[in-house]
Amino acid sequence: MLCRSGGTLKERNRQDNQNSKRLIIEAGIALFAEKGYAGTSVREIVEKAGVTKPVLYYYFKSKEGLFFAILDWAAEQLEELIQRVLERPGSFLGRLAEFYRYLYQGILDNPNLFRMIHDLAFGPPQSAPAYEFWKYQRSMAGAVRAIYLEGLEKEEVREANPDEVVMLVLALIDFCFHMAHSMPESIDAERPERLLRLAFQGIGKEGLLS
């Protein structure tokens, strides 16, 4: 059956469903970021999304279901980003810099999502459902480890404790993310790459620390 505006009725319904889900997710992210989980009501979410409560319950069952759907979606986006980086060729430092650029662009594209996750993971308790936020960190750690081991295999870097390399890289990246979150006026998109190069190329003269 064709609709007058083009496409089948089934296709139009599917598109409407996708739009409704997207609007609910966007409204949930914005409100959870602004007011926290406990401070956000289902009524506020559906009003912001322009849908009714039954629509939210149909797709997500509850506010908690929406909460988990948002965080699981964020985890899936991170995994896709990591796969893109791991599949691309390049030098050790070049791939790490690209990894950060992808992550940073994700924050710029989804500032409310980053704020929501940041405040839930590092802020005061919000009476939110328990969620394993550290799986984001584990995914990032796995990517950095893989990049380092490939760089080691190509003799681009010297042998070191992989766990400590991961800690060094993630500490730099986390610091830059926290700076961007707490002091957005100080954002410098090139700073992380400079810090990574400084960390791995060093600043001391030979024998300075011996």
The pLDDT confidence band at residue 125, using thresholds 50, 70 and 90, is confident
User: How many Å is the Cα radius of gyration of the chain?
Assistant: 21
pLDDT at residue 119, rounded to an integer: 85
User: By C-alpha distance, which of 180, 45, 1 is closest to 103?
Assistant: 180
| Average pLDDT, integer, range 7-11 | 59
User: Which domains, and CATH codes, for the chain?
Assistant: 9-201 (1.10.357.10)
pLDDT at residue 2, rounded to an integer: 43
Predicted TM-score (pTM) of this structure: 0.80
| Average pLDDT, integer, range 81-106 | 88
Query: Following DSSP, what letter does each residue of 86-143 receive, concatenated?
Result: HHS---HHHHHHHHHHHHHHHHHH-HHHHHHHHHHHHSS---PPP--THHHHHHHHHH
- Say which residues have a Cβ less than 8 Å from residue 145's Cβ, sequence separation at least 6: 162, 165, 166
- Whether 206 has a pLDDT exceeding 60, the answer reads no
Contacts 24+ apart (CB under 8 A), 183-187: none
- Whether 134 has a pLDDT exceeding 70, the answer reads yes
The pLDDT confidence band at residue 209, using thresholds 50, 70 and 90, is very low
pLDDT at residue 195, rounded to an integer: 84
Average pLDDT, the chain: 85
